[in-house]
A and B are shown apart, each in its own frame.
Chain A
């Protein structure tokens, strides 16, 4: 801009700022009058600023006044815009759009529903991915939080022993705070007639401050409370609500926990209920009992990284400390810590599933957009006549474009409304169905960004393809279009675009069907795996004996033998037994060796799961006995040690098949020598989809065998509904010992099916999406063919007039359609080989190139493609030659 040479810096700066505002506002002004508009503002601004400057009156206040006045450029620009595009025109366009949408209800409904489903499904899926994967955890600076497992040669998901933890905490420099807690555990609250078993944890005093969480009532543990035993407890918000009616007077009151009175010192915020399933927190009693033993690993660490420290750096320092500890304490050989970002731990392996699902739903949207584009293109051809007439009557091209834009907007808005509703219900549904499968479900909410994004995408689709008729009308020129009017003709380019769209749709839905098919087949394979026990009609419940009342194994044995006797006498119960290791419900393992063959090195140590069972366990669960016998009344505490092992272990240890009669030495702190008296089938302890671990079974009556027997599961084989006996079992238990609660009543069948719930969830969702994609693709194909037959009715009429037989015409149309389908399938095949590699990790006993799935999907697509061709083809054979030619 021209500028007075002698003007001051202040004047130049004021002018520059004002000119910037004006230029920004000018973007609103229609391009046709933008130059004039800018010139006027520039003239006034220069005059004013430099006149003030020359008069020496351009102080800060005057400059501000000028800038403030310049802001008026925005309303000015808007008023120019309004004058250019008249409101009446817009209203007229909207009315016209509504009328023309209502005139074609099927078309409108198809577009709105197709786009609505795409928008809804995508927003819902993205909301899930966003709140589960992308959002940081709801803790302050949560990216600094690191979870710590114990790791040794035998595994990397182990725990940390309290003495080790204290050493790490003292020597480390990479964490601003390092805490720990037990990851599993329960406590019995109450006593009286309402004992309740709740998830519990013992934690270091700084655990909550490390997370960045403050109790909403009372205080956290004091550092001195983690030294020696202190009977204090912090309770969860949920427990405070349920058991104490949210009474603030709960602080300082005494609560019986595991038979001992504890003083409530704090109540945690609801946030922690959502993140950690623990209701009772007690401080770690460092230096007492088990917590003083370096070999007992039962803590998990949680650290907050010091500013600027990475996880890798922290891991290096922990490794260094581990090496120092290894030198001092021989029992620490090969023990280390494994650091995992806390978010990764919580999100876990759901990530990949969600990404696959998000990809799938994105493809559905893509196909939906393709279909809408195809529909709009078809309509564009049909409307080129209308546009030509309107052009001939004097409508300018911008005017036509504006009107078509309005129509697209109306469609898009309607679809957006449908999508919003659908997304809302989908998110609600996933919240209900995903419980236990998806982490962080409680944080799940409909994501507005996602909704907006998919809405914008769909709108863009309808805009771009909705504009086709206007572009069409202008391209050929009015006369060209008008002369072709009434011939039922349309642009060949539009048809070509639609062909390509159909090929892509078929290909994409092919890929999705393949992936879904593989997952469904995996699910089927998993369900066919024999778990080696019969889950039907088995009642299970957890029974924990207070250790104070049942200090030794003989007490537990007596309790269990009475309990199982009385449960067996409940009408409908066939057999009953107890076990400390129910399939799919945790358990422990230990080292062992064949008597006389102790391991030479650590690497040679053998490891197997430890089940402590009562008599009748194998009969109740119907676990087949392969050789030898099960436990009987003759296996006594003072008798020789006996045990059972599973078939797989027997085969590996004693390939000759002579396992029965052999002896093993098992490490239960003290070595236990036992004779193998029986071999049982390989029970799928970790679920049908997982490998069978090596298993050892011991009798509850032999005190040296196994770990404590105070925490066991009751199993009972029942005729009819297994949970129906719950009230009677409760009565039996109360008569036996009113301090012992009955917890986690679950039919075995449910536990088993629950173990593959995530597999089923994944396969079900993907199958749903694939089905939607498939349906949309078939509808798209049908639309293309139907349109093609209409377009070619003249040609077909001539063929028929010239003597073409129905069958030939039929074949002609079908060939056109099936060519598209075949191309799509070929493209899909190529894509599938790439896509299935990505999901191969989710497959169970199914190759990612499984021929069954590929053949089935190919046939399904070809078959339904053929079906989509038949209707239009039959219509083609009925084209009336005279009718078609008359329009010539």
Chain B
């Protein structure tokens, strides 16, 4: 089922906003996102999966050479897509304008700095 109409996407969940916001601020690896948002891995990874499915983020594997240099396997990193940025802005706006009620329940990470 379509989750968003192209013009007026449904606002993301607060956790998803937190994750997307972190990625937008160039915190791009799964574990780092958890550290920043304070959300557990069992929440962050399913959100990442959904965001990627809906086209808000895309993932890539870091260059093999970097990993080789540090003698470890390559990491996956995420980037916000254009529609992801739009959805993030829309969602933040949505929660702000709806008043404090929902925003109060926002995750520990402040949405706007």
Binding site for B on A (CB under 8 A): 1-5, 39-40, 42-44, 46-48, 50, 69-76, 79-80, 83, 88
Chain A residues positioned under 8 Å from B74 (CB to CB): 39, 43
Say yes or no: B73 contacts A39, CB within 8 Å: yes
- Known A72-B40, A79-B49: A40·B76 in contact at CB below 8 Å: yes
Q: How far is the CA of A5 from the CA of B72 in the complex (A)?
A: 10
Chain A residues positioned under 8 Å from B94 (CB to CB): none
Q: How far is the CA of A5 from the CA of B71 in the complex (A)?
A: 8
Q: How far is the CA of A853 from the CA of B29 in the complex (A)?
A: 79
Chain A residues positioned under 8 Å from B49 (CB to CB): 76, 79-80, 83
For the complex, is B109 an interface residue (Cβ under 8 Å from A)? no
Q: How far is the CA of A47 from the CA of B62 in the complex (A)?
A: 12
Q: How far is the CA of A870 from the CA of B40 in the complex (A)?
A: 70
What mask results when residues 25 to 46 of chain B are scored 1 for a CB within 8 Å of chain A, else 0? 0000111001000001111111
For the complex, is B112 an interface residue (Cβ under 8 Å from A)? no
Say yes or no: A69 contacts B76, CB within 8 Å: no
Say yes or no: B71 contacts A44, CB within 8 Å: no
Selected from B42, B61, B72, the residue in CB contact (under 8 A) with A74 is B42
The smallest beta-carbon distance between B23 and chain A, in angstroms, is: 15
The smallest beta-carbon distance between B65 and chain A, in angstroms, is: 14
21 A-B Cβ contacts within 8 A?
Answer: A1-B73, A2-B73, A4-B71, A43-B67, A43-B74, A43-B76, A44-B76, A46-B72, A47-B72, A47-B75, A48-B31, A69-B34, A69-B40, A71-B42, A72-B40, A72-B43, A75-B43, A75-B46, A76-B42, A76-B49, A83-B50
For the complex, is B105 an interface residue (Cβ under 8 Å from A)? no
Chain A residues positioned under 8 Å from B31 (CB to CB): 44, 47-48, 69
- Known A40-B30, A44-B30, A69-B31: A79·B73 in contact at CB below 8 Å: no
For the complex, is B63 an interface residue (Cβ under 8 Å from A)? no
Q: How far is the CA of A70 from the CA of B61 in the complex (A)?
A: 20
Say yes or no: B42 contacts A75, CB within 8 Å: yes
Question: Can you name the residue of chain B whose Cβ is closest to the Cβ of A82?
Answer: B46
Say yes or no: A2 contacts B72, CB within 8 Å: yes
Chain B residues positioned under 8 Å from A4 (CB to CB): 70-72
Chain B residues positioned under 8 Å from A1 (CB to CB): 73
Q: How far is the CA of A50 from the CA of B31 in the complex (A)?
A: 13
For the complex, is B1 an interface residue (Cβ under 8 Å from A)? yes
**For chain A, what secondary structure do more than half of its interface residues adopt (helix, strand, loop), or is it mixed?**
helix
Question: Can you name the residue of chain A whose Cβ is closest to the Cβ of B41?
Answer: A72
- Known A47-B31, A48-B31: A69·B41 in contact at CB below 8 Å: yes
Selected from A39, A40, A50, A75, the residue in CB contact (under 8 A) with B72 is A50
Chain B residues positioned under 8 Å from A79 (CB to CB): 45-46, 49-50
Selected from B29, B53, B70, B72, the residue in CB contact (under 8 A) with A83 is B53
Question: Can you name the residue of chain A whose Cβ is closest to the Cβ of B39?
Answer: A72
The smallest beta-carbon distance between B80 and chain A, in angstroms, is: 18
Count B interface residues, CB 8 Å.
24
- Known A69-B34, A80-B49: A46·B73 in contact at CB below 8 Å: yes
Selected from B42, B50, B70, B75, the residue in CB contact (under 8 A) with A44 is B75
Chain B residues positioned under 8 Å from A76 (CB to CB): 41-42, 45-46, 49
Chain A residues positioned under 8 Å from B71 (CB to CB): 2-5
The smallest beta-carbon distance between A86 and chain B, in angstroms, is: 9
Chain B residues positioned under 8 Å from A72 (CB to CB): 40-45
Q: How far is the CA of A655 from the CA of B62 in the complex (A)?
A: 109
Q: How far is the CA of A367 from the CA of B50 in the complex (A)?
A: 49
What mask results when residues 72 to 104 of chain B are scored 1 for a CB within 8 Å of chain A, else 0? 111110000000000000000000000000000
Question: Can you name the residue of chain B whose Cβ is closest to the Cβ of A43?
Answer: B75
Chain B residues positioned under 8 Å from A50 (CB to CB): 72
Question: Can you name the residue of chain A whose Cβ is closest to the Cβ of B76?
Answer: A40
Chain A residues positioned under 8 Å from B42 (CB to CB): 71-76
Q: How far is the CA of A42 from the CA of B67 in the complex (A)?
A: 12
The 4 closest A-B pairs by CB, nearest first: A72-B41, A75-B42, A72-B42, A79-B46
Say yes or no: A39 contacts B76, CB within 8 Å: yes
Say yes or no: A88 contacts B1, CB within 8 Å: yes
Chain A residues positioned under 8 Å from B72 (CB to CB): 2, 4, 43, 46-47, 50
The smallest beta-carbon distance between A757 and chain B, in angstroms, is: 62
Q: How far is the CA of A74 from the CA of B44 in the complex (A)?
A: 12
> Knowing that A4-B72, A76-B49 are A-B contacts, what are 19 other residue pairs whose CB atoms are under 8 Å apart, sorted by A's residue number?
A2-B73, A39-B74, A39-B76, A40-B75, A43-B74, A43-B76, A47-B72, A47-B75, A69-B34, A69-B40, A71-B41, A72-B44, A75-B42, A75-B46, A76-B41, A76-B45, A80-B49, A83-B53, A88-B1
The smallest beta-carbon distance between B13 and chain A, in angstroms, is: 13
Question: Can you name the residue of chain A whose Cβ is closest to the Cβ of B77?
Answer: A43
Question: Can you name the residue of chain A whose Cβ is closest to the Cβ of B72?
Answer: A46
Chain A residues positioned under 8 Å from B67 (CB to CB): 43
Chain B residues positioned under 8 Å from A46 (CB to CB): 72-73
Selected from B1, B41, B53, the residue in CB contact (under 8 A) with A70 is B41
Q: How far is the CA of A43 from the CA of B29 in the complex (A)?
A: 10
The smallest beta-carbon distance between A522 and chain B, in angstroms, is: 66
Q: How far is the CA of A1 from the CA of B67 in the complex (A)?
A: 13
Q: How far is the CA of A70 from the CA of B30 in the complex (A)?
A: 12
Chain A residues positioned under 8 Å from B29 (CB to CB): 44, 47
Chain B residues positioned under 8 Å from A5 (CB to CB): 71
Chain B residues positioned under 8 Å from A48 (CB to CB): 31
Q: Which of B44-59 contact A (CB under 8 A)?
A: 44-46, 49-50, 53
Chain B residues positioned under 8 Å from A74 (CB to CB): 42
Q: How far is the CA of A359 from the CA of B35 in the complex (A)?
A: 61
Q: How far is the CA of A80 from the CA of B42 in the complex (A)?
A: 11
Q: How far is the CA of A3 from the CA of B67 in the complex (A)?
A: 11
Question: Can you name the residue of chain A whose Cβ is closest to the Cβ of B29?
Answer: A44
Chain B residues positioned under 8 Å from A80 (CB to CB): 49
- Known A4-B71, A48-B31: A73·B76 in contact at CB below 8 Å: no
Selected from A42, A69, A71, the residue in CB contact (under 8 A) with B73 is A42
The smallest beta-carbon distance between A45 and chain B, in angstroms, is: 8
Say yes or no: A73 contacts B41, CB within 8 Å: yes
Question: Can you name the residue of chain B whose Cβ is closest to the Cβ of A40?
Answer: B76
Say yes or no: A43 contacts B40, CB within 8 Å: no
Question: Can you name the residue of chain A whose Cβ is closest to the Cβ of B71?
Answer: A4
The smallest beta-carbon distance between A748 and chain B, in angstroms, is: 75
Chain B residues positioned under 8 Å from A88 (CB to CB): 1
Q: How far is the CA of A746 from the CA of B48 in the complex (A)?
A: 80
Chain A residues positioned under 8 Å from B34 (CB to CB): 69
Chain A residues positioned under 8 Å from B53 (CB to CB): 83
Q: How far is the CA of A70 from the CA of B49 in the complex (A)?
A: 17
Q: How far is the CA of A50 from the CA of B61 in the complex (A)?
A: 19
Chain A residues positioned under 8 Å from B41 (CB to CB): 69-73, 76
Question: Can you name the residue of chain A whose Cβ is closest to the Cβ of B53?
Answer: A83
Chain A residues positioned under 8 Å from B76 (CB to CB): 39-40, 43-44
Q: How far is the CA of A16 from the CA of B55 in the complex (A)?
A: 34
Q: How far is the CA of A336 from the CA of B41 in the complex (A)?
A: 73
